[in-house]
């Protein structure tokens, strides 16, 4: 099986796509035709007999060719540059007084472009609270990255699943991701949210603290207690009244 060639780069950086042929030191680029194509229909860079040919407008002033190993350099790389490329090399030979192009190699290479996501933002909103637990809505969000990410969470070293949504204008546009999770918090808990994309990851941790200043509500006295207390107060008032009337006579 032929090993598939892969190149990786980040938005704004310089990336090189390897070709399938290297020109011997005894020859020069003038003896070759080199075509770098994207998706077969779009010419990223082309040379014929040592001279550059017309290329796609989108690649203008962003591509260079190594004249020895025929590597295609793209700078600065963009998200739209992602996809399959093909390096086609023809050797120009003179046969019977005419120049005949002979295909030396024709191999594909795939470019994967990555755009960094922002550091995840993690927030916690208390929905309801009691002495036993706090009901908390957790949210983790990140934006501006590519390709479509995976989002994961860890609560006190235990993996948890987020309810995630992704937003992007197209399959070749940056992604924004937002994830929610509802949690019954019974103790101090450490939460980590991670956004993973194309072998890279961004993580943020947040310490969730259980409310400590819990005050039990006062228990209302029972009906019998209220009646008994009222009778005692009435008797006490009657006694004071009778005493006030009796004492002046004596």
Same domain for 92 and 41? yes
pLDDT at 250 over 60: no
- Over 80: is that where the pLDDT of 73 sits? yes
Is there a domain that residue 239 lies in?
A: no
Q: Give this prediction's pTM.
A: 0.74
Whether 3 has a pLDDT exceeding 90, the answer reads no
**What is the Cα 100 distance to its own chain's centre?**
51
Q: Which residue has the higher pLDDT, 95 or 201?
A: 201
| 43 pLDDT more than 70 | yes
Residues 106 and 192 in one domain: no
Q: What is the pLDDT of residue 222?
A: 59
- pLDDT band (50, 70, 90) for residue 224: low
The boundaries of the domain holding residue 202 are 118-208
Count the Cβ atoms, other than its own, within 10 Å of residue 47: 19
| Mean of the per-residue pLDDT values of the chain | 88
Q: The domain spanning residue 89 has which CATH number? A: 2.60.40.10
Structure tokens at 123: 């927030």
With respect to residue 33, please indicate whether it lies within any of the assigned structural domains: yes
pLDDT score at 1: 46
Q: Dihedral, CA atoms, 77, 202, 137, 211, nearest 10 degrees?
A: -150
pLDDT tens, 122-162? 999 999 888 888 999 999 999 999 999 999 999 998 999 99
- Judge if 106 and 123 occupy the same domain: no
Q: Is 167 a domain residue?
A: yes
Q: Is residue 203 part of a domain?
A: yes
Q: Which residues pair with 114 in a beta bridge?
A: 10
Does a structural domain hold residue 184? yes
Number of structural domains (the chain) is 2
């Amino acid at each position: 099986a032929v090993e598939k060639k892969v190149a990786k780069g980040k938005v704004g950086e310089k990336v090189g796509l390897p070709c399938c042929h290297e020109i011997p030191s005894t020859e020069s680029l003038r003896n070759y035709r080199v075509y770098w194509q994207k998706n077969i229909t779009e010419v990223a860079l082309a040379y014929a007999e040592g001279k550059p040919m017309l290329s796609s407008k989108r690649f203008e002033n962003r591509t260079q060719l190594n004249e020895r190993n025929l590597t295609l350099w793209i700078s600065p790389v963009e998200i739209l540059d992602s996809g399959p490329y093909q390096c086609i090399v023809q050797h120009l030979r003179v046969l019977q007084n005419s120049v005949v192009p002979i295909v030396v190699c024709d191999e594909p290479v795939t470019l994967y472009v990555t755009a960094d996501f922002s550091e995840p933002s993690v927030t916690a909103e208390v929905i309801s609270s009691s002495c036993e637990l706090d009901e908390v809505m957790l949210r983790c969000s990140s934006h501006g990255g590519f390709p479509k990410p995976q989002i994961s969470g860890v609560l006190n070293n235990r993996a948890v699943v987020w309810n995630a949504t992704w937003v992007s204008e197209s399959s070749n546009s940056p992604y924004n991701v937002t994830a929610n999770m509802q949690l019954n918090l019974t103790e101090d808990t450490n939460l980590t949210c991670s956004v993973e994309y194309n072998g890279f990851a961004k993580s943020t941790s947040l310490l969730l603290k259980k409310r400590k200043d819990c005050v039990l509500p006062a228990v209302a006295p029972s009906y019998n207690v209220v009646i008994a207390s009222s009778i005692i107060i009435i008797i006490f008032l009657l006694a004071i009244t009778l005493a006030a009337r009796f004492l002046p006579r004596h």
